[in-house]
Amino acid sequence: MTARLLLVAVSLVVLPRVTVYAAEQPYKNVDVQQFEKLRANTNNVVLDVRTKKEFEAGHMPGATNIDINAPDFSEKMAKLDKNKTYLVHCAAGRRSARACEKLGTMNFKQLYNLEGGYTAWEKAGNKGEKPQGSAK
């Protein structure tokens, strides 16, 4: 009985101090200012994971649109160079975080998620563009 009590007491003292390490997040969250610094490097790929309709309403210059909710998202992503740096955004940051998680499982090496998404980017004073031939 005394041995059991001692074991329980030791467990209560030692176990809470044991640190469990979670898998490292496969991407880094960045704010608009950091995102813009990364975007200035033309070797980096701006990936807009919003719907086609959202993209056509306005998007970052030079962005590539691949909708995370489209059934062929993974197939399209698999065709991209996994060694490039991807700057991922959606409207508010939630879908892009999901996309980054998924891309991380596909062994993409350099992923950055824009916190606050396209909305935060516009609020910071940046101007998007619309595809050629669309209403301004």
Q: pLDDT tens digits for 36-53?
A: 999 999 999 999 999 999
- Asked whether residue 128 is assigned to any structural domain, the reply reads no
Specify the 3-state DSSP secondary structure of 113: strand
- Asked whether residue 2 is assigned to any structural domain, the reply reads no
Residue range 95-112: average pLDDT? 96
- Please give the Cα distance from 49 to 96 (Å, whole number): 6
| pTM as predicted | 0.80
Q: pLDDT tens digits for 56-93?
A: 999 999 999 999 999 999 999 999 999 999 999 999 99
- Asked whether residue 1 is assigned to any structural domain, the reply reads no
- Asked whether residue 132 is assigned to any structural domain, the reply reads no
In this structure, are residues 86 and 125 in contact, taking their beta carbons and an 8 Å threshold?
A: no
Sequence-distant (6+) residues with CB within 8 A of 126 are: 32, 36, 60
- Asked whether residue 110 is assigned to any structural domain, the reply reads yes
The domain spanning residue 65 has which CATH number?
Answer: 3.40.250.10
- Asked whether residue 34 is assigned to any structural domain, the reply reads yes
- Asked whether residue 135 is assigned to any structural domain, the reply reads no
> Residue 20 has what pLDDT?
44
Boundaries of domain holding 117: 23-123
Domain count, the chain: 1
User: Got the DSSP string for 76-111?
Assistant: HHHTS-TTSEEEEE-SSSHHHHHHHHHHHHTT--EE
- Asked whether residue 3 is assigned to any structural domain, the reply reads no
